[in-house]
Amino acid sequence: MKIYINGKFYSKADAVVSVYDHGLLYGDGVFEGIRAYGGRIFKLREHIDRLYESAKSIMLKMPITKNKLMEEIIRTVRANGLKDAYIRLVVTRGIGKLGLNPFHCGKPQIIIIADKIVLYPKAFYEKGLSVVTVPTQRNIAEAVNPRIKSLNYLNNILAKIEACNAGVHEAIMLNASGYVAECTGDNIFIVKKGVLKTPPLYMGILEGITRDEIIRLARQFGIEVMETILTRHDIFNADECFLTGTAAELIPVVKVDERVVGTGKPGAVTRKLTAAFHELVRRVGVAV
| Phi, psi for residue 140 in degrees, rounded to 5 | -80, 145
Nearer to ligand PMP (CB atom), residue 96 or residue 146? 146
CB of 211 to ligand PMP, least distance (A): 6
By CB under 6 A, residue 150 contacts ligand PMP: no
Report the distance separating Cα 2 and Cα 11, nearest Å. Answer: 5
Could you give the string, one character per residue 225-264, with x where binding to ligand PMP holds by CB under 6 A and - elsewhere? -------------------xxxx-----------------
Measured from the CB atom, the residue of 21 and 249 that comes closer to ligand PMP is 249
Q: Which of 80, 130, 133, 210 binds ligand PMP (CB under 6 A)?
A: 210
C-alpha span between 270 and 288 (Å, rounded) = 30
Residues 6+ away with beta carbon under 8 Å from 225: 195, 196, 197, 198, 215, 218, 219
DSSP 17-58: --TTBHHHHH--EEEEEEEEETTEEETHHHHHHHHHHHHHHT
Q: Which is nearer to ligand PMP, 247 or 286 (CB)?
A: 247
Q: What is the nearest approach in angstroms of ligand PMP to the Cβ of residue 36?
A: 14
Which of the following is catalytic: 2, 43, 149, 197?
A: 149
What is the rounded distance in angstroms from the CA atom of residue 68 to the CA atom of residue 35?
Answer: 18
Alpha-carbon distance of 89 to 283, in angstroms, equals 23
Applying CB under 6 A, among 54, 76, 139, 156 the residue interacting with ligand PMP is: 156
Beta bridge partners of residue 111, listed in sequence order: 5, 90
The whole-angstrom separation of Cα 129 and Cα 39 is 29
The question of whether 149 is a catalytic residue gets the answer yes
| Nearest distance in Å: CB 37, ligand PMP | 14
Q: Does the protein bind ligand PMP through residue 206 (CB under 6 A)?
A: yes
Assess 29 for contact with ligand PMP (CB under 6 A): no
Amino acid, res. 41: I
Nearer to ligand PMP, 80 or 187 (CB): 187
Give the interface with ligand PMP as residue ranges (CB under 6 A): 33, 156, 182, 185-187, 206, 208-211, 244-247
